Amino acid sequence: MNWRDHISVSPKVMYGKPVITGTRVPVDLITEKLASGESFEDLLSAYPHVRLEQLLACLSYVTSLIRNEESILRAA
């Protein structure tokens, strides 16, 4: 999956935060809800205009950011 097909950034939408394309649903909101224990099914119910592939694209986007960034955790 290419997250670029589903995630976009525009200074005119949500102050330039990455969002699911065509929505005002920010990527960080999706990842925060998943991290707090909400399921994909919960999110699809809460955001009926969002598709599963878009939720997966959020995870793919965050993964690519982490892969390309320096870790903030250091080995002791």
3-state secondary structure the chain: CCHHHCEECCCCCHHHCCEECCCCCEHHHHHHHHHCCCCHHHHHHHCCCCCHHHHHHHHHHHHHHHHCCCCCCCCC
User: Has residue 34 been placed in a domain?
Assistant: yes
pLDDT at 72: 64
CATH of the domain at 52: 1.10.10.10
pLDDT single digits (tens) 35-51: 999 999 999 999 999 99
User: Has residue 73 been placed in a domain?
Assistant: no
Range of the domain at 58: 3-67
The domain tally of the chain equals 1
| pLDDT exceeds cutoff 70 at 19 | yes
Question: Strand pairing of 19-20 and 7-8?
Answer: antiparallel
pTM of the predicted model as reported, rounded to 2 decimal places: 0.87
